[in-house]
Amino acid sequence: MEQRKGARCATDLHAVVSCPRFGLFRGAVENVSLKGVYVRTRNVNMCVNVPVTVTLQADADDPDSCCEASGIVVHQDLDGFGVRFTDMDARCQRLLERSLADM
């Protein structure tokens, strides 16, 4: 069942996901919106409803292009997992708005 409330756009953002229960995971952001993100990780099994912190990075070589958002895992499959954002700072909001505008 589709639960998404808004279109997501394909992107080339990078992500590091921190989960107190399962540790750190690095992945590629397959698609993103202001409400959520799908992180392609392969071989990582996340549980639905687990809280996570997602660090998004626009440029892997530029640490200033990073921001963090908190969220809840809402979907998991063989290739990765979807996160619905629950909180993000203004910097992350601007990064996502800029990334979405460029697409």
Nearest to 53, CA basis, from 8, 89, 78: 89
Using a 10 angstrom Cβ sphere, with 0-12 exposed, 13-18 middle and 19 or more buried, the burial of residue 20 is exposed
- pLDDT by residue for the chain (103 residues), tens only, comes to 345 456 678 888 889 999 988 889 889 999 999 999 999 987 788 889 999 999 988 776 776 778 899 999 999 998 999 999 999 988 888 878 877 777 6
In this structure, the strands spanning 66-77 and 23-32 are: unpaired
- Strands in 33-89 per DSSP E: 36-40, 51-57, 66-77, 80-88
